[in-house]
Structure 1
Amino acid sequence: MQTKKLVFMGICLFGSLGLGGEYQAATPTDNEGISSITAQLDSTFQEEQVDSIEKAKLFTHEGEETDITFKDSALENEVKKELNLTENEHVTTVNILNLQKLVSSGTGITDLTGLEYAKNLMLITFNDNQIDSLKPLEKLELLSSVGLENNPKLTLDDVLALPNLTELNLSNNPNMKDFSKLSVYSEMRNLWLNNSNLSNIDFVETMHVLKEIHLDNNHLTTIDKLDSDFLTKLFVNNNNITSLDHVKNISQIQSILIDNNELTSIINRPTLKGLSANSNKITTLNDLNAPFLQQANLDNNQIDSVHIISAPYLSNLSLRSNKLITLDGLEKATNLTQLNLFSNQLKDISAVKSLPNLLRLVIQENPTIMDFSPISSANKLIQLLANDTNVTPAKLAQLGSLNQLQLLAVSNIKNVADDSKISSLDFLTDFPALTLVAIDGHSVSDISKIGQTKIETYSVKNQQIRLPQVALGQKTILTLLDKDNNFPSTINFNTPGEISTNHPLKTNYVQWHQVGENSLDFSSLDDSFSGSVNQLVVK
C-alpha cells in the first residue's frame, strides 16, 4: 500500500512540475503527513464525543406533542434531514428530542428559533451562515460543542450565554472582541480562534483541560499562557511567535503547526509526533532528540546544519529552501522514507548511504552536488527527483541499478557543458521498474528505447541537438525517433531547409539552403518529445 501511495504522489508531482519545476506540496504547505497525525488525534476525539453522547442522560418529553414552528425554512430543512423526516412530516416537540447533533454550514441560516425544544442537542456546527442570535440555544443544558465560524452578525456576548461549552469554533468573526471573557470556560477542550485579531491569549490560563487549540492568522508573539497538561495539538500558523520554549512545559504535546512565524530554533519534546515550522528563521537543526517524531517540515528557513541524536520513528523530513551544503548529521535518521532537500546548496550527500529505507528523495535545484554515488545505497528508492541539478550521464551511472525506482526526474541540467548533457537513453535499463521519467532540456534525439520499457508517462521536451558543421549543399543524417520508432509528426524550419528520406533504409537527412546558423523545431504528436536541431553551415 505504501508503494502505491508514493507512486500516486509521483504522478501528481509530474503534473505540478511540468516535469521540470519546483515541487509544490499539498498545502497548507507540505503537511500531508502532519495532517494524518492530527487526523489520528481527531479520530480519538470524535470517538470520545460519540461515547459522551451515548452516555449522556437524555431528556424525555412530558405533556402533549405539538408541531414546532420554525421561522427559518433553511433550518427546518436541515433538522428534518438529520431526523430523517420527509418534506411533509412535521418536526414536533417529541421527535426533536432525537436531535443530538446538527451540522449545517453555508446553508443561509439566519434564525435558530425552534431549536429551544431540542433539549438533547449536544453538538451544532453552523459555520458560514448569517445567524443573528443564539437565544434559542441558551437553555440547552447538554449543548457542549458549538461551531460558529464566519457568522459576522454574532457577538461574543451571544456566545457567552451558552454556559456548558467544551468545544468552540469562533474563527473569522470580525465583530467579536474582548476574548478575555472566554476565561469562564474552564472546561474547554477544543478551541478555534483563527483570524480573530488576537494579540494575546491570557484567557487560556483557566483552561486546564485544553486538548487542542487553533490560533492561525493572528498577531501573537508568545504562547506562554498555555498551561494545560492535556494539550496535544497546537496550531499557530501565521503569527509573530519567536520561541517555543514554553512548550517544554506541556507534557502531552504531539502536534505543532507553527508555519510563518519568527522562530530561530526548535525544541526537543519527547512526546512530539509532528512538527511543521515552515517559513521561520531557524538556522540549525542540531541535537534533535525526538523519540516519537514521525514528520518534520522545516521548509523556507535558514538551516545550514543538521545533527540528529535520536529520531527512530522519523519517516518524513522536509528541508526545502534552506542553506544546507552537506547532509552530515542525518546518519541516525535511519528510518527516513521521504527526504525533501529541494533548493539548498548541497555539495555532499554522502549521508544518504546511511538511509537504507528511503523511498522518495528530492534533490531538485542543487546544481553543485559532487557525487551521486551515495544514492546507489538506497536500494528501496521509488522516486528520485533531481531536476535542475548537475546530473550528467557519468553521474547517472553512479546511481547503479536501482531496481525499485519508478519515478526519475532529471530535467534541466545546470552548471555543465552542452556536450555533457544526456544524449542517450541506454541508462534506462539500469532502472527496470521505471514507469515515469522526465528528461527535459537535454540532447536526446532518439527515445525509441522508452518503447522497450515499462514507462507509461514520460517527458523528453526541449531537447537541444547540435549537428556537426557542414558545407552548404551537404546533407546530414537526422536521427529523430519517438517512442514508437517514428519520425516526429511536426517539423518547423526556422531557416530555409528540407528533409529528405532514403526510403529503403528509412534514413532521414536534413539539408540547409543558407550559410550560417540554421535550426528547426520538432515535436511528437502528443508533444511529450520535442526540441530543436541546430547546425552551422559554411561555404
Structure 2
Amino acid sequence: MNNKFLLTLGALAMLLAGSLFISACSSDPTSSNDDEDIEIEIVNFADQRLLTQVRLALDIESDVDITPDLMLELDTLNINAGNDTSGELTGISDLTGLEFALNLVYLRLSATSITDLSPISGLEKIDYLRFNNTPITNLSPLSNITSLTYFNANSVTGITDISPLSGNTGLRTAILRNVPFGNEGMETIRNFTIIHRINMRDTGVTDISVLGELMADGALLNTTPFAQEENGGAVLDLRGLDVEDWSPIAPYINQISDLSGVPANETVSIPDPTLEDFIRNLLEIDPQNEITTLYMSGIDTLNVNNINAISDLTGLEYAPNIRYLRFGGTTVTDLTPIQGLEKVEYLRFNDTNITDISPISGYSSLTYFNANSVTGITDISPLEGNENLQEAILRSVPFGNEGMTTLKTLTSLYRLNMRNTGVTDITILGEMMADGALLNSTAGAEAAGGATLDLRQLSINDYSPIEPYLDQIANLDGYPSN
C-alpha cells in the first residue's frame, strides 16, 4: 500500500513539473509567435522642411509618425515662400513623400526651390496647382493630371513645353506669365475650352488665332462659366507680346472685362463703298459691326485687281501689316493713304491714273513693283532704298535717262521691264551687271527661269555696256539681232 501510494505521488509530481515547464515556455518572449504585430509603414520625407509643413497641414505633433493612411487625410497644402527670409520655406527642394497624398486637391509651392514634380505625378485629384517663381523646367510628370481648374506657373522661365497640361479641358484659370512656350504652346491652350482667365504676358507668342477660336466657342468671355463668379468677368493679359495681327480677337474685345496689352481699337472710316464692302467680306465683318483698327491689323493680302469702281484707298492706312497689295485696273489716283505701309513687299497698280509715287518713298521692303502702263509717272526716285527689289515692271513709264540713277540703287534686280520708257543710255545697266544684278546668277533668278530684261521700243545706239553679259541673261528682248 505504501509503495503504491508513493508511486502515485511521484507520478503527480512529474505531471506538475511538466505543466510548469510548458507554461514557462509559452510565456518566454523569445519564443516564436505566429500572431506577432505587423510593422507599421512610415512615410519617408526626404526634405524635413516639407515634413514640417505637412505636419502643420495635418495638425499633428512632431512625435506622431506619418503613415500612408494619415497622408490620405491631406487635401490642402499651401506653401507660399514669397516673404520667407528664414529659408524654412524657400529651401524646400524635394517633394518626396507627397506621393502618398492621394486625396490632395489644393497644392501651392510658390517661391520654393522645387525642381522635380515627379513625386506628385500620381495625384490625379489636384484641381489647384501653383508653383510660381520656382526653378522647375519639366511639366511631364503632370501628364496624368486632368482635373486642374487653376494652374499658376508665373515666372517659371525654365518651362518651354506646356503640352503636359493638354488633358485639363476643365481648366478655368492659367497664369503663365514669363513662361516662354511661344506659338507652339498655343496648341495646348486650344484644349482649355472653358478657360476664362489667362495671363500669357511675355510668353513669346506672336500668333493669337487660337484665342479667337476659343472665343468663338465661348471661352475667355464674360459669359464663360464661372467668369463672373471668380473674376468679375473674363481676364486676358497679352502684354509684352509681339503680335501683328489682332483681328482674331477683334469681334470679342467688348466681351472681356479685363483686357491688357491690346492696342486701342478705333473705328476705321473707308469712304469708298466698294473698297469697304471688299474689306468687310475679306475680314468677315458683319454689316452691323464697325470696321476697327484691330480688324484691319489682320490684312496681310489685299488684291482688288481690276475692280474699276474703287477710286479711293482711304482707310488702308490702318492696315499696317499688308505685304501684298494689288489694285491694278482701278481708278485710284492717290497713294497717300498707303504711305505708311512699310511692310509692303508686293506692290502692283498697273493701268491706273497715278502720277505721283512720292507717298511710297518710305518703303524699303519691296521685292516686286509693277506700274505697267502708268504713263503719268515720270519720277521713280521714291523707289530708291529698296535694295531687295527683285522685279520691276515699268513698261511705258516715261522715267527716261534720269530714272536710271534710281535703277542703279536696286542692286537685287533680276527682272526689269523698261520697254518704252524713253531711256536712251543703258550704261548703268552694264554697271549693275558688273555688280551682279540682272544676271542668271542673281539671287532668285534661277527659280524664276533666269534673268529677264526688256529693252524694246527704246532708242538705244550703244549696247556695248551689256554685251559682256548677254550669255548670262536668259530672257532678253529688244537687243538687236545680228
| Structure 1 length-normalised TM | 0.41
Point out the structure with the larger helix share: 2
Which protein shows a greater Rg? 2
Point out the structure with the larger strand share: 1
| Structure 2 length-normalised TM | 0.45
Structure with the greater relative contact order (CA < 8 A, sep ≥ 6): 1 or 2?
1
